[in-house]
Amino acid sequence: MGGMRITKLDLFLLCTNLTGFGAAMALLAIRGPSGPIVLLAIGSSLMAVAKIGKALTRSPGPDPESGG
């Protein structure tokens, strides 16, 4: 079983999605639920889960960034 492999782009998108999810949760706590905020929270959490799942299921082949 290989380790978790994630590209720099996937890591950037994961951080962006987690930041968006945190901001949506803060807005939900402060202002209460509204349609766009709830959709933003759901979308960003699902995207974060997808990026983590992609990193966990990637085969431990040669590193694409090393050129080999």
Range of the domain at 44: 8-57
> Does residue 38 lie in a domain region?
yes
H or E stretch covering 61: none
Is the per-residue pLDDT at 38 higher than 60? yes
> Does residue 68 lie in a domain region?
no
Is the per-residue pLDDT at 56 higher than 70? yes
> Does residue 3 lie in a domain region?
no
> Does residue 64 lie in a domain region?
no
Q: Please give the tally of structural domains in the chain.
A: 1
Mean pLDDT, rounded, for 45-57: 86
> Does residue 20 lie in a domain region?
yes
pLDDT value, residue 2: 57
Lowest mean pLDDT among 6-10, 21-25, 59-63: 59-63
> Does residue 67 lie in a domain region?
no
Residue 25: CB partners within 8 Å, gap ≥ 6? 41
pTM above 0.85, yes or no: no
> Does residue 62 lie in a domain region?
no
* Amino acid identity, position 55: A
Mean pLDDT, rounded, for 49-58: 82
pLDDT value, residue 51: 85
